[in-house]
A and B are shown apart, each in its own frame.
Chain A
């Protein structure tokens, strides 16, 4: 079962990064806010699953989290639902929101993706519109 050992190793690395970020967060809200946007966040491990019939996927952004010149969208983390990008954002306390549930923080990007799927009731996401302001 070498594949599962590899999987554990990967998860171990991810957990280590998350632990480091958690330590930063414990240093206070100011430290968390000042942390680089690309710091791995607690609970932000990759995921890839089918939830209520929708394919949801999350992981570090290939494009580094830059949109329209703004820094820090989603903390460099991308979530998709059936391949369409769901705009997500990490709060200073480590919780997450998406454009579908923007006033209701949840613990992880996976929880944000699942909340969006429930809210969508089968509707497709429209392509991400970037801020113009």
Chain B
């Protein structure tokens, strides 16, 4: 059992090991396979058709499984590594230690959005963007340029207060916790963070930026926090829903894992701070 920690609390050695494992997965080509998978689902998931990874109830269990697979790959390189999470309600400016040169590097330069410091800058030649939707092969960011600030703790709490996991029509038009956390409706949490980071994070190939994993590890933690607050609220829908992954349906691309299998994260990892029912 390993522990997922708040990125702000990592030691210099933990940051160094996490970065080294990322660079090794990139070097061997294993990293880009994750980018490809994510983009395939983001382009394939539609409100009126089959939807698995996004804009659907399985957004949360799908990304939990996706992160578990990625974390296992990291740990095959260095067994001491676990995915950290980025609490963007607390570390909410481009001056956060998250964006320092010893960790993820900072925002992109004005001319072309290119990240020019940190381990993932083009100059280091260790982070080519190969799975891409346009001609640019370097990591880009535009932290905060969208003009809308990162979500606040109060906004997160307003979403965690929602009792119902998800509602028909089980897509981007739904009411309920899942869609408000995903951000297609309401105060907008997850989607807004992608837009705030900018660059590849705002596109279908968002896992090209390593912050993708830290963002989703926090979204995943918010799911655990919500479960602690609403122990009587089940994953929905339960069964028989067209185009949607019900509780006991298997999820593509693995086809051997269901939302029910993903409900209890403590079978796989714990967080540095236990979820509270407050």
- Chain A residues at the B interface, C-beta cutoff of 8 Å: 29-30, 32-35, 37, 68, 70-73, 75, 87, 89-93, 99-105, 119-121, 123-126, 129-133
Contact = CB atoms under 8 A, between A and B. Distances in A.
- Secondary structure at the B interface, as helix, strand, loop or mixed, is loop
Contacts of A90: 47
- Secondary structure at the A interface, as helix, strand, loop or mixed, is loop
Best-buried of B36, B168, B190, B202 by chain A (most CB within 10 Å): B202
A56 to B, nearest CB: 14
A73 B183 contact: no
A121 B140 CA distance: 12
Contacts of A75: 48
Contacts of B171: 29, 33, 92
Contact of B44 (A30, A32, A124, A131): A131
Contact of A126 (B48, B134, B202, B206): B134
A120 B200 CA distance: 11
B248 to A, nearest CB: 20
Given A87-B133, A124-B135, 16 more contacts: A29-B174, A30-B168, A71-B48, A72-B47, A87-B43, A89-B46, A99-B133, A100-B133, A102-B204, A103-B194, A123-B134, A123-B136, A125-B133, A133-B37, A133-B41, A133-B44
A96 B136 CA distance: 24
A90 B136 CA distance: 26
Interface residues of B, number: 42
Contacts of A119: 202
A89 B171 CA distance: 13
B134 A120 contact: yes
B173 A93 contact: yes
A99 B48 CA distance: 18
A103 B168 contact: no
Contacts of A120: 134
A33 B195 contact: no
Contacts of B206: 102-103
Nearest to B193: A103
Given A105-B184, A125-B134, A92 B44 contact: no
B113 interface: yes
Best-buried of B41, B112, B171, B205 by chain A (most CB within 10 Å): B171
